[in-house]
Amino acid sequence: MTIVEATWVEGYKIRIKFRDLSLQIVDFGPYLAQNSHPYIAPYKDKEQFKTFRIDNGNLVWGDDWDMIFPNYKLHRGFI
């Protein structure tokens, strides 16, 4: 389930395109609201949240992959 493209939609939602050409819009808002880990806290700020990138087919945040999710879950549309 390799990610080939990711585009911010609104709020904490990202449109994710996979190598198999399937698309999902995943809302990360509920996860961020419930998580208080210090590495994740900065991404509650929407401008910081929008700094995601694709690295080796994964959707990641931060230089050291501060936040990453299993691609198989993103492919199903939830985390």
- 77 pLDDT more than 90: yes
Which residue range is the domain that position 71 belongs to? 3-76
CA separation, residue 25 to residues 37, 48, 64, 70, 78 (Å) = 24, 19, 24, 15, 9
Q: Specify the pLDDT at position 78.
A: 85
pLDDT, averaged across the chain: 96
Half-sphere exposure of 25 (CA within 13 A, CB side): 6
Number of domains in the chain: 1
pLDDT at 47: 97
Condensed to tens digits (0 to 9), the pLDDT of residues 1-29 reads 999 999 999 999 999 999 999 999 999 99
Helix locations, the chain, DSSP H: 29-34, 46-49, 71-76
Structure tokens at 76: 């199903």
Residue 51: which CATH number?
Answer: 3.30.2020.10
Tally Cβ neighbours within 10 Å of residue 47: 8
